[in-house]
Structure 1
Amino acid sequence: MKSPVRLLRSIRTKAAALFVAVASCAALATAAAPAHADTQICEQYGTTVIQGQYVVQNNRWGTSAEQCVNVTANGFDVTRAEGSVPTNGAPKSYPSVFNGCHYTNCSPGTKLPAQLSTISSAPSSVSYRYVDNAVYDAAYDIWLDPTPRTDGVNRTEIMIWFNRVGPVQPVGSQTGTATVAGRSWEVWTGNNGGNDVISFVAPSAIASWSFDVMDFVDATVARGMAQNSWYLTSVQAGFEPWQGGAGLGLGSFSSSVELGGGSGGPVEPEEPEEPAEPGACRVSYTANSWAGGFTADVKVTNTGTTAVDGWALGFTLPAGQTVTQAWNATLTPSSGTVRAVNAAFNRRLEPGGSQSFGFQGAYSGTYAKATQFTLNGAVCTTA
């Protein structure tokens, strides 16, 4: 028998259809409403509220060059986008609209942060206007964290690339393909030095779409890059320009979060998933233990054909084990499901190449080795 969560998630298609119908009615009502006075934002982190529930942000974080957005009743247009940054690095900005919380700024009446296990669906709709005389991606961002945080950087960022123009690519490297929410995607995984990133890249431009955010969350959990005990903190839609960007526009945006995934009572176990396919990685874990303590030397090898630029190795420590110090990587948390993130000098894994790190720990009971290794969310084989 399926759990209440799975039963609720199984009716998303019908819910999405109803959502689209309601959205169409809302669009007719909006058309009949009084005219909305546009708002110009040129301040670096300037914001304003639209529809009484979403925040539009200029969010010019990667350049000192001027950027302005004209905020309409339902979206925004980029009217000025000066400057450029190298295409092999981070973009210069992320003009966008969001539902949820972003660096302590929470949208009016939002239900976020919300624990994933309590969300039955999160229907959303977005439409974009593209230009060809710029280098950019059109990205929908979904942010997840182990805590219900409303400030700072979250643990995992899910990106849905609706379009990309120019020589730009997501963080990390392509680690596979997937069908999510009825569409086919390239799947890229990596770490940008501050958080894990999984990107679903459309093979061709998508101008508008209505979908359920939880379909992408579920796909991320299945790849080991989040857990159902984590929190959805915000969803955002906008553009990441590297060069230019004037003329880009977001015509409409809607987002809601339906709670009720958890009843508070006993829940039957989920039906078992198919085991994950091994990724292009291999891990060697060599330990030396003594009464109450141990050291571990970990070597991760890229067995694929493309380089991994920025890595995070996830693994599970047995109960009773705690990390006390580490070298050549940053390990968090100190027990349970641990994530080791590369140092600045060893962030790149060439095809066939390896990087190593180590740590010292304490334990109680009987010593056992760590298990369940994943590289940027992809399951690794063990040597």
Structure 2
Amino acid sequence: MGRRPRLLALSLALSALLGLSAIATAQSAAADTEICDQYGSQAIAGGRYVVQNNRWGISEPQCISVTDRGFRVTRADGSTSTSGAPKSYPSVFLGCHYGTCTSNDVIGPNGLQASDPRFAQVRTSVSMTYPASGTYDAAYDIWFHRSRPSASTAQNDGAELMVWLNKAGPIQPIGSRVATVSLAGGTWDVWFGNTGWNVISYVRTQGTGSLDFNVKTFWDDVVARGYGSNAWYLTSIQAGFEPWVGGTGLAVTDFSVTTGSSPTTNPTTNPTTNPTTNPTTNPTTNPSGSCTASYALVGSWQGGFQATVTVKAGSAPVNGWTVRGTLPSGAGVQSLWNGRSSSAGSSLVVANEGYNGSLGAGASTTFGFVGSGPAPTSLALTCA
């Protein structure tokens, strides 16, 4: 959450003004391990990340203890109504936030356009611990700007992508729930609202204390729903907490953002309909015996479907693979991830990406796609 309340226009304007002084505060933050200044911050990991107190919703004190991998909330006075905005967003981030930028090789001071091939490689992970009481959410806050930003850009105008790992108490994201999807190894309720920029929140139906995912996994779903664009720029990746009541004991124990790792499977569901999960597999062995390709229908809706294909090496290593098959008449590939498609019409032809073409004996990789038209429950495939 940025330095502004999420619901009230008056508070929004006030926070924007406070953001000007926050820049100076962040730049002059002391090297102490505990931060109690309203917008105090401290760089960690050699400047790669910044930890920020970011108490924007109340006047009562809040303090955080900074570690080399994250932070812990040591004091969290005051409370706000659970029907309104939270007290704060203590967090750790990579990128640029209200003029404070980290030293990193991922986003840079002018953002990273979502259409840039490097965006597909942006991966983040976090581990958190939670207290036994309090009302809060534990969430990523990932920001996008509509045009190329500068390091001094304050409020992003494109999209605020929130990924709620966990929540406690009677709270909910901005807007209303529009769907439920399966992404990044979990099931998420999708919420959408607008506060001058699009706010898209993914709330995990079963809370977790850790998460590891590619940003593109969620962003592709945002774009498919019409809430964002691949022409927009990623500006920061933040992880922390929004407390309404209490909050002492909330902690980020580990946080990282990297590039170059193999992306996770990136399922994208129909924007308005939740697919029914009932995977059906149909392994087909390549005549040469070098690899197999197994099709699985993840879900379907009126006029479309989502599927995955698992490519598995045989008894010998595979250096490069291509999967071929024929979809039902009237079906086609709309979008695909973790592979390079040369599909046309009902012909399915997918080759490996650079990062997943080499498979050791018995190893496997997966690509997925969203199709239009009738959904096949099984599909004969060859792998070479």
Which TM-score applies when normalising by structure 1? 0.57
Partners of 2:49 and 2:162 in 1: CA distance: 19
Equivalences for residues 285-324 of structure 1 within 5 A: none
Partners of 2:54 and 2:90 within 8 A in 1? yes
Partners of 1:67 and 1:81 within 8 A in 2? yes
Partners of 1:109 and 1:207 in 2: CA distance: 26
Q: Partner of 1:46 in structure 2? A: 40
Which of residues 237, 246, 252 is equivalent to 2:239?
Answer: 237
Which of residues 159, 163, 166 is equivalent to 1:156?
Answer: 159
Partners of 1:88 and 1:168 within 8 A in 2? yes
Determine if the alignment matches structure 1 residue 58 to structure 2 residue 56.
no
Q: Cα deviation per residue 1:12-58 (whole Å; 9 max; x = unaligned)?
A: xxxxxxxxxxxxxxxxxxxxxxxxx9711000100111112000000
Q: Partner of 2:115 in structure 1? A: 117
Equivalences for residues 122-201 of structure 1 within 5 A: 122-149=122-149, 150=151, 151-154=153-156, 155-191=158-194, 193-201=195-203
- 1:45–1:276 distance in 2 versus 1, CA, 3 Å: closer
Q: Partner of 1:206 in structure 2? A: 208
Structure 2: runs of 5 or more not aligned: 1-30, 275-384
Partners of 1:174 and 1:187 within 8 A in 2? yes
Partners of 1:70 and 1:77 within 8 A in 2? yes
Partners of 2:234 and 2:259 in 1: CA distance: 10
Q: Cα deviation per residue 1:234-257 (whole Å; 9 max; x = unaligned)?
A: 100000001111111110000024
Which of residues 95, 99, 118 is equivalent to 1:100?
Answer: 95
- 1:163–1:111 distance in 2 versus 1, CA, 3 Å: same
The one-letter amino acid of 2:115's match is S
Partners of 1:190 and 1:160 in 2: CA distance: 14
Q: Measure how far apart 1:132 and its partner are.
A: 2.6
Partners of 1:158 and 1:198 within 8 A in 2? yes
Partners of 1:152 and 1:201 in 2: CA distance: 26
- 1:274–1:216 distance in 2 versus 1, CA, 3 Å: closer
- 1:200–1:100 distance in 2 versus 1, CA, 3 Å: same
Partners of 1:108 and 1:240 in 2: CA distance: 25
Partners of 1:276 and 1:50 in 2: CA distance: 39
Equivalences for residues 258-273 of structure 1 within 5 A: 258=260
> Residue 115 of structure 2: SS of its match in structure 1?
helix
Q: Measure how far apart 1:111 and its partner are.
A: 3.2
Q: Measure how far apart 1:229 and its partner are.
A: 1.0
Q: Cα deviation per residue 1:238-293 (whole Å; 9 max; x = unaligned)?
A: 0000111111111000002459x9xxxxxxxxxxx9974379xxxxxxxxxxxxxx
Partners of 2:95 and 2:42 in 1: CA distance: 14
Which TM-score applies when normalising by structure 2? 0.57
Determine if the alignment matches structure 1 residue 85 to structure 2 residue 85.
no
Q: Partner of 2:18 in structure 1? A: none
Give the aligned CA root-mean-square deviation in angstroms: 2.1
Q: Measure how far apart 1:166 and its partner are.
A: 0.6
> Residue 215 of structure 1: SS of its match in structure 2?
helix
- 1:147–1:98 distance in 2 versus 1, CA, 3 Å: same
Partners of 1:100 and 1:110 within 8 A in 2? no
Partners of 2:231 and 2:200 in 1: CA distance: 18
Runs (4+) of structure 1 exceeding 4 A deviation are: 273-276
Partners of 2:187 and 2:206 within 8 A in 1? no
Percent identity reads 50
Structure 1: runs of 5 or more not aligned: 1-36, 262-272, 280-383
Number of residue pairs matched?
Answer: 230
> Residue 117 of structure 1: SS of its match in structure 2?
coil
Q: Partner of 1:13 in structure 2? A: none
Partners of 2:131 and 2:100 in 1: CA distance: 30
Partners of 2:74 and 2:97 in 1: CA distance: 23
Q: Measure how far apart 1:147 and its partner are.
A: 1.5
